[in-house]
């Protein structure tokens, strides 16, 4: 064990990890974060805080992480390359580590075109893989990108994301291998709806031996409604929602759709858990954090180690 990360502790112990996510509010009220954190407390080994996801301005991941930290949770600060150059990135990494944030998830970031400020200029000075390298170099070599020495290394557990459902499919496992080689220690995947495709991807991941180099957490998102399922299928880039899942939600009475969504999520957890090389799950219950405890319990993953 090299960091103070609770997630790292759980993963290295060999336990099946459960992580979850908290989307920060579009305002300055910390109570919103506290409320969401309260729902997740005791049910997730760590809580990701998204970084202006879908390029919509929200409370900074850094600040919301500190709010969660204050509640005794272990936050994962998500960091995108869209809004920061290498100067700001390294500065934020030092700041996060100084204030006890133990985990960083390295992302390229959604293009600003999707957000509420499509006229913004983007940065993309470095990409997600180079961001992983940066954190690793800062932590392990005590050096900035420039090569200059860091006084007080940031002790961070390094994570990344990968989308097994994006194209070209054949390089998606190779890309994860690149991330592992760059220094990522865990990956949280895009939401898994198409389990068969995920299984195929995992097979390719295992063939490359990547599951032995990093911990793989499968992304789980419960569907709240048929509208949400359709939106995910048709409007979110890189999302693979099989038609039969939408049909299944359509097949139950309106008031039971949410329950069915939760049921599908729990079944998906059981299925991915059985796949060799899957070390945990990452529950992204979008604006539905209050149902995470129910999912974790139903999946037999409560109490947490």
Partner 1 sequence: MIVANRKPFEEIIEMLKPYSKILLLGCNECVTVCATGGSKEVAVLASEIRMYRQKEGKPVEIREVTLERNCDPEYVESLKPFIHDYEVVLSMACGCGIQFVGEHYRDRLVLPAVNTTFDGVTEEHGVWAERCQGCGNCVLDRTLGICPVTRCAKSIFNGPCGGSQGGTCEVNKETPCAWQLIVDRYKEMNMLDRYLEIQPMKDWSTSRDGGPRKRVREDLKI
Query: Residues interacting with partner 1, by CB under 8 A?
Result: 81-82, 86, 108-111, 113-114, 122, 124-130, 133, 145, 161-163, 166-168, 170-171, 174-175, 177-178, 181-182, 190, 237-238
Find the angle CA(47)-CA(160)-CA(165) to the nearest 5 degrees.
105
In DSSP terms, 77 is beta-bridged to 49, 104
In terms of CB distance, is 235 or 303 closer to partner 1? 235
Q: How far is the CB of 252 from partner 1 (least distance, A)?
A: 29
| Structural tokens at position 197 | 């495709």
Q: How far is the CB of 156 from partner 1 (least distance, A)?
A: 19
Q: How far is the CB of 249 from partner 1 (least distance, A)?
A: 23
Q: How far is the CB of 84 from partner 1 (least distance, A)?
A: 13
Of all helices (H) and strands (E), which one includes residue 216?
A: strand 215-220
In terms of CB distance, is 177 or 279 closer to partner 1? 177
Q: How far is the CB of 128 from partner 1 (least distance, A)?
A: 7
- Whether cis (ω within 30° of 0) applies to the bond prior to 254 is no
Q: How far is the CB of 129 from partner 1 (least distance, A)?
A: 4
Burial of 282 (0-12, 13-18, 19+ CB in 10 A): buried
In terms of CB distance, is 147 or 303 closer to partner 1? 147
Give the count of beta carbons closer than 10 Å to the beta carbon of residue 238. Answer: 11
In terms of CB distance, is 170 or 255 closer to partner 1? 170
Give the count of beta carbons closer than 10 Å to the beta carbon of residue 116. Answer: 13
What is the C-alpha separation between 272 and 220, in angstroms, rounded? 10
Q: Are 62 and 96 in contact (CB under 8 A)?
A: yes
In terms of CB distance, is 207 or 267 closer to partner 1? 207
The DSSP secondary structure of 29-65, one letter per residue, reads -HHHHHHHHHHHTTT-SEEEE-SSGGG---S-HHHHH
In terms of CB distance, is 237 or 253 closer to partner 1? 237
């Amino acid at each position: 064990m090299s960091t103070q990360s609770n997630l790292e502790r759980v993963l290295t112990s060999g336990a099946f990890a459960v992580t979850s996510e908290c989307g920060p509010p579009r305002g300055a009220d910390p109570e919103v974060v506290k409320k969401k954190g309260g729902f997740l407390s005791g049910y997730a080994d760590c809580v990701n805080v998204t970084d202006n996801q879908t390029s919509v301005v929200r409370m900074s991941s850094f600040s919301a992480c500190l709010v969660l930290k204050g509640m005794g949770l272990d936050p994962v600060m998500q960091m995108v390359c869209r809004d920061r150059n290498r100067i700001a990135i390294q500065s934020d990494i030092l700041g996060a580590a100084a204030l006890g944030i133990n985990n960083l998830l390295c992302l390229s970031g959604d293009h600003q075109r999707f957000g509420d400020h499509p006229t913004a200029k983007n940065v993309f000075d470095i990409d997600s893989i180079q961001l992983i390298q940066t954190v690793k170099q800062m932590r392990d070599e005590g050096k900035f990108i420039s090569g200059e020495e860091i006084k007080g290394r940031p002790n961070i557990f390094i994570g990344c994301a990968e989308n097994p459902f994006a194209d070209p499919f054949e390089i998606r496992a190779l890309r994860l291998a690149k991330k592992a080689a760059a220094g990522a220690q865990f990956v949280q995947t895009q939401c898994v709806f198409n389990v068969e495709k995920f299984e195929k991807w995992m097979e390719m991941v295992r063939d490359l031996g990547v599951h032995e180099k990093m911990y793989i957490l499968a992304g789980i998102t419960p569907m709240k409604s048929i509208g949400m399922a359709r939106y995910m299928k048709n409007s979110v880039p890189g999302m693979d929602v099989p038609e039969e899942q939408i049909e299944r939600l359509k097949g139950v009475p309106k008031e039971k759709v949410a329950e069915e969504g939760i049921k599908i999520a729990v079944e998906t957890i059981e299925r991915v858990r059985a796949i060799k090389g899957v070390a945990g799950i990452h529950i992204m219950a979008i604006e539905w954090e209050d149902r995470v405890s129910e999912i974790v319990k139903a999946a037999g993953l409560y109490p947490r180690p």
